Each structure stands twice: as C-alpha cells, then as structure tokens.
Amino acid sequence: MIKMKKHRIIVIISVVILIVVIFGLIWGNIYSLLPSNKNNAELIFNKDCKLLETVVCYLEKSEYESVYIYETMESGYMYIHSDRVKITDEAVVEAIDQLFRERGYSTIGRRDNTIYFQRWTRLMDFGSGIAYSISREKEPELQFLTKIEPLSESGWYYYEEDYNEWRIK
C-alpha cells in the first residue's frame, strides 16, 4: 500500500515535470502555432519589434534595393540579385538569426520601398507576414500581394501573397 502511494506520487511528479518542460519548449515558439491573420501578426509584431526594427534600419540604409535572405542560407549573408554579400553588422546578423531560429520567420527581403518578413507559408503559392514601408507614405508593394492591412505602428503592415488568388484577379 505504501509502495503504491509512492509510485503514484513519483508518476504524478514525473508527469508534472514533463508538462513543465514541454510547455517551456513550446512557449518559446508558441507564436509559430498562431494562424496567419492581422490580429496574430500584431501580437507577433509586438513581441519581435526590436529585432524587426534592427533589420529594417540596416536594410533601409543599405545601398541595395533588392535583398533576399532566407532561413536556410549561411548566417551572416544576404543575396543581392544572385550575388552573396556579407552582412557587416553583427547586431543585424544576430537579429536575423533569432528571427529565423527562434521566432519562426522563413524569409526576409527588401524590394524597392518594402521590407518584408515572411512568417507563414502554405506550399509554394501562399506567404504572409509583416511588411514595412520605407517611405511610410504608400503601402508596401509585393509581387503577388492580395491583402494588406496596417498594424498599430505607423509604416508596418500585415500582408498576404497568394499567387493563385492574384493570378485570377
């Protein structure tokens, strides 16, 4: 009887510890599980704002108007057209690494007046995330843009690119 109680207590304690560990692992990236929409983009933007602004400041001042960085490429580099170029600011490299590894982003880019941070994707035909308008006077422009909604901070937007929907329009 005493052994049975000890066994139950050990099992309960083990389950509680397991739940705490799992929750801790998930909580670090819980926002990745949120569906793609403006309200969730606002939550994520508020959480990631400092990292996003670090990257925006760097890309905004960059001489390049077309920049592409994706999560699987070597850390510390960006593509300018087809050329691989080193990112010279370590704080920016760290911010990008955090956005990719810990915050669930898959692509960062600059195209003319727009800096975008792709957060959600479905197959190859849909992507959405957070975009920034450098001029702030006009909305961001992306190739297959189908939805753009302003966030609470001036110049920042939630966007969706849906190739199939765009093609029909």
Phi, psi of 60 (to 5 degrees): -65, -40
Looking at residue 37, its pLDDT comes to 77
Looking at residue 24, its pLDDT comes to 47
Residues of the chain with pLDDT under 50: 24-29, 31-32
The single residue listed with the structure tokens 């994707």 is 121
Looking at residue 19, its pLDDT comes to 64
Looking at residue 16, its pLDDT comes to 65
| Start-to-end Cα distance in the chain | 72
Looking at residue 39, its pLDDT comes to 85
Looking at residue 34, its pLDDT comes to 57
- DSSP code at position 109: E
Written as one letter, the residue type at 114 is: T
Looking at residue 124, its pLDDT comes to 73
The pTM for the full model equals 0.78
Looking at residue 2, its pLDDT comes to 64
Each domain of the chain, given as residue ranges in start order, spans 1-33, 36-168
SS (H, E, C) 58-95: HHHHCCCCEEEEECCCCCCEEEECCEEEECCCHHHHHH
* 49-65 residue pLDDT tens: 999 999 999 999 988 88
Element at 161 (helix H, strand E)? strand 156-162
